[in-house]
Amino acid sequence: MRTELLILVVVALVAVAGLMQAGFSGMTVVEPTLAHYPSIFGPDFNAVIIKGRMKSPEELTAANIIISRLTEQYKLIRQSMYERGILQKSLFAQDLQNKIFTEDQVDYRTTDAILIGSLCHNSAIAHLLGVIDCMHYFEPGEGLVKLMEAGGHRYLIITGYSGDEVLAATTFFLSELQLNKLDSNELRIDSATKVPLRDPRWYGEYTTPSYRDTQKNKVFILGQWMDLR
């Protein structure tokens, strides 16, 4: 956890320093990557979270993990910026519950957003990726985390073949973010990817659905064992 906090502080300060330097020197700001998450959405999280209207338990868990982690991440980012005199206040007062929608409740084209869900359960993701056949775009075991821009808005997409892959992609993304291993705008998993769960609240190791072992296909999340099959 301390490693993750340190990385988030560094990412936030680098992003802010880059913006300030660009503003004073006319230099072009470096294009953001997944490593800049979540500060890419500004110090007040100027975005919404869009889940599928239909969602599996695994997709719901993935969304809840992202939401709960965002609160922790933004408190740290804002505290760091406050201590350096960049912000007037340190508290992250934004109520995330007011920024959580299903795909039929908000038009993704009007806002920055984090979109979570499989292609067939979250049509906004399919539209952004230009997918026509949501059932056959991914193979079993495949998942995707992608940072992209469209129509003047910024989107973080977390998707995959099914709910299993969406959850695996979520945990793998957060793990790689914690380890400072992200240097592009896209992260993919496949049936061979082993997803280490490095949060103190998580124990064990989860692999994507091609690996069907009873024990290996369970994970301890937020105080309870969950069957991910």
HEC sequence for 26-77:
CCCCCCCCHHHCCHHHCCCCCCEEEECCCCCHHHHHHHHHHHHHHHHHHHHH
What averages of pLDDT result for each successive group of 10 residues across the chain (229 residues)? Answer: 47 44 43 92 91 90 88 81 74 74 96 97 96 94 95 97 90 88 93 59 40 40 43
Output the pLDDT for position 106.
96
Q: Give residue 195's pLDDT.
A: 67
For the question of whether the overall pTM of this predicted structure is more than 0.85, the answer is no
CA-nearest of 99, 141, 143 to 117 is 143
* Burial status of residue 102 (CB atoms within 10 A of its CB: 0-12, 13-18, 19 or more): middle
Decide if 47 contacts 18 (C-beta within 8 A): no
Q: What is the pLDDT of residue 215?
A: 38
The residue extents of the domains of the chain are 2-227
The β-bridge partners of 143 are: 160, 189
- Given the candidates 3.30.379.10, 3.40.50.2300, 1.20.1290.10, 3.40.718.10, the CATH classification of the domain at 2-227 is 3.30.379.10
